[in-house]
Amino acid sequence: MATAKPKLKRKKRKKLTPHEIEKRAYRKEVRSIFGNSGFTRVGYISDKEFTYNGATSDFDDVYTYENIIVLIEYTVSKADKVGAHLKPKKLLYDEIVADTSAFLNFYEGKFPSLKETRSDLYDSDQCKVIVLYCAKHNVKKKHQELISRIKYFNYPILRYFKSVTEAVKLSSRFELFHFLGLSINNIGENSISTSESNDVYEGSILPHSHSNFPIGYKVVSFYVDPGSLLERSYVLRSQGWRDEIGLYQRMISKAKINAIRKYLNVEGRVFINNIIVTLPSTTKLLDSERNTVDPVKLKKTAPGTIEIPKGYNYIGLIDGQHRVFAYHEGGVSDDNIAKMRKRQNLLVTGIIYPPDVKHLDKTKFEANLFLEINSTQTNAKSDLKQAIGLMLRPFSSESIAKAVINRLNNKGALEDMFEKHFFDRDKIKTISIVSYGLKPIVKLSGTDSFFYLWDNENKNDLLDNKNDDLLSDYIGFCAENVDNIISAIKQKVDNSKWTTDKKVKNKVLNTAAINGIIICQRLGLEDGIIGDLDFYNKKFESIDTFDFSAYKSSQYGQMGRDLYDEFFT
């Protein structure tokens, strides 16, 4: 009779700590970005310790793409502890960056699976090695300056790329390359090729007299396949990773991309409306005999050859980003869409900058053009218009109000309480606070404005829309005065009310309450009743009894008057 086999005891899984659970979820987010954009994870060397030139450490993840190697370190440490996590790694990071080829030879000798994963077409000195520090919480500027030769992937940037890579899959790699500081000549076979060439398109050149753009700006039209546009285009998206002053377009919509992609797959035909782009100043306009064409000398639209330098992130997409990115690589129906990326052609209107235009002026030009195209459309949201206005018309009352909101969100009683990123939840929206709360009290006229109160002998220079330093001083003055009244109320109300949680009924931190408080302050300002933090502390001694929940979202005007009547008169 056969004897029963003894049951094997299952090894109990180690219970993860909350810190480990958070780090695992965070790591999963970063991995999805690199996976969606076409990088390959080298799984066997994650968390494997090594000692290099006297420094012992490990990397949490390693990703490769052709000749690109990205070494990733994760941390979910709180903001005040990130420095303690980062600083001990300075020696290793400095050693790696000082000679990436030497480190790669060592690292691949220690972990052969890395060399097996990346392309063997490239020697170690033809590879690019990048250290990427991914911190879920803010890395202080002083720490980034201490270790300045690595890349920092902070959480807002991570969430941005997560959204983009989920929407446009493999085509997101070109923007990720740009973030990592890579140009076309650093990546893949371009890094070992000695040939240089331009992208050449046949098109039409518009006479200067027909465009009315400033002298030096050139306008052309041509057809281009979507695949080429995907490789060469960039979009200055709002809440993206680039410098904040240069962001003016809406976030890309995955739903809109998928809808257009479905249309392409079902109908199989191209959209007939044109794409608006900007082209680099090094773009050449040539006639049939390859002579340079000057649009100023043209009397009518003429055929011509448009030569654009080859590279990634060269063409600025101003209007039509969803129509272009619907052709993205990877994802649903890609077998069919892949053919369209090369066979179909999109009509492009391109604006070529003069060679001496500064970066900020380019951005302002693009933002203004975007606003002209989209200002009458319902999908040009008010918050986007306010952000563009801050760049184009910084001396307007609305832009000053927007700048004050930014100051309040960086410091004081309302620090980090306003929506800043597209993924923010349970934070205060700013559109109506800018328009109805702050704009009337920061305007450059009237006795109910901070401008009237401001004791600065040069303040009238602001009326001439110049003197950026003076404008910054005025924004600071306005922010300080608003913070005084907000801080006083924060000190006097029960802590449970100082929240943005929608479940709390009588909370203070919502759009209506903030607007009501600012309107109350403006009424006092008009009557000459205004003061510092101590002044407001005395006025709002019994503010905790005030019922903020009695007012609907649009009744901030009534709330402001009731606050003023009860606590000031």
- Whether 213 maps to a domain, the answer reads yes
CATH of the domain at 121: 3.40.1350
Give the bridge partners for 308, in sequence order: 199
Can you give the pLDDT of all 569 residues of the chain as single tens digits? 556 666 656 666 778 888 888 889 999 999 999 999 999 999 889 999 999 999 999 999 999 999 999 999 999 988 888 889 999 999 999 999 999 999 999 999 999 999 889 888 999 999 999 999 999 988 888 899 999 999 999 888 999 999 999 999 999 999 999 999 999 999 998 888 766 678 899 999 998 877 778 888 899 999 999 999 999 999 988 777 876 555 677 888 899 999 999 989 888 888 778 899 999 888 999 988 889 988 888 888 999 999 998 889 889 999 999 999 999 999 889 999 999 999 999 999 999 988 888 887 888 888 888 888 876 554 446 777 777 777 778 899 999 999 999 999 988 999 888 887 777 777 888 888 999 999 999 999 999 999 999 999 999 999 998 888 999 999 999 999 999 999 999 999 999 999 888 888 888 889 999 999 999 999 999 999 899 999 999 999 999 999 888 888 788 899 999 999 999 88
**372 and 407 in a common domain:** no
Residue 369 tokens read as: 């053009």
Nearest in space to 135 (alpha carbons), one of 118, 120, 152, 119: 152
**181 and 62 in a common domain:** yes
337: Cα separation from own chain's centroid:
28
365: Cα separation from own chain's centroid:
19
**165 and 69 in a common domain:** yes
Task: Quote the pTM value.
Answer: 0.82
DSSP per residue, 262-287: HHHHHH-----SPEEEEE-TT-EEE-
Domain total of the chain? 3
Query: Tokens 């980062």 belong to which residue?
Result: 86
The confidence score (pLDDT) of residue 454 equals 94
Range of the domain at 123: 18-189
**412 and 368 in a common domain:** no
472: Cα separation from own chain's centroid:
23
Last residue within a domain, chosen from 379, 411, 443:
379
Nearest in space to 190 (alpha carbons), one of 241, 130, 132, 119: 119
**308 and 226 in a common domain:** yes
**251 and 157 in a common domain:** no
Q: How far apart are CA 479 and CA 471, in angstroms?
A: 12
**461 and 501 in a common domain:** yes
- Whether 77 maps to a domain, the answer reads yes
Sign for the CA dihedral angle at 487, 488, 489, 492 comes to positive
Nearest in space to 143 (alpha carbons), one of 92, 97, 87, 91: 87
Instruction: Bin 333: left if φ > 0, else alpha if -120 < ψ < 50, else beta.
Output: left
- Whether 458 maps to a domain, the answer reads yes
The confidence score (pLDDT) of residue 294 equals 87
- Whether 271 maps to a domain, the answer reads yes
**361 and 239 in a common domain:** yes
- Whether 2 maps to a domain, the answer reads no
Strand pairing report for 55-57 and 50-52: antiparallel
End-to-end CA distance of the chain: 99
**Count of beta carbons in the 10 Å neighbourhood of residue 221:** 16
**124 and 32 in a common domain:** yes
The confidence score (pLDDT) of residue 30 equals 96
- Whether 206 maps to a domain, the answer reads yes
**452 and 332 in a common domain:** no
Last residue within a domain, chosen from 158, 189, 220:
189
Last residue within a domain, chosen from 346, 379, 412:
379
- Whether 10 maps to a domain, the answer reads no
Q: How far apart are CA 20 and CA 3, in angstroms?
A: 43
Q: How far apart are CA 410 and CA 432, in angstroms?
A: 19
- What is the H or E stretch that residue 348 is in? strand 346-352
**331 and 238 in a common domain:** yes
The confidence score (pLDDT) of residue 474 equals 96
- Whether 232 maps to a domain, the answer reads yes
Give the bridge partners for 279, in sequence order: 352
**563 and 434 in a common domain:** yes
